[in-house]
Amino acid sequence: MAPPSGPVRAAETDGAAGTRIRAARKEAGLTQQGLSAAVAVSRQTIIAMETGDYAPSVYLAIKVARALGVSVEDLWGTET
């Protein structure tokens, strides 16, 4: 069976990651529109990541982290 096409909704919202993404974006001096342009997605996708409603692909997660000047682990990593 083929995987579903289109955006992937997170199984559970990840508010902590969303908070880290929003903080890193603001620290980088980017608007949601600016970040979306930098990583070639819609502003709605950035909003969904910041609310924890969207689980980006690994490729997009890397692009977002690079655009914000942080590591993927800084944004989506969990403390153990």
β partners of residue 9: 54
Do residues 17 and 71 make contact, with C-beta atoms less than 8 angstroms apart? no
Q: pLDDT (tens digit, 9 = 90+) per residue, 3-58?
A: 555 555 554 556 889 999 999 999 999 999 999 999 999 999 999 999 989 989 99
The CA distances from residue 76 to 9, 26, 57, 68, in Å, are 15, 17, 12, 13
Q: What pLDDT is stored for residue 15 in this prediction?
A: 81
Domain 15-75: give its CATH code.
1.10.260.40
Where residue 66 falls (left for φ over 0; alpha for ψ -120 to 50; beta otherwise) is alpha
Global pTM value = 0.80
Give domain limits for the chain.
15-75
- Give the C-alpha separation, 53 to 15, whole Å: 8
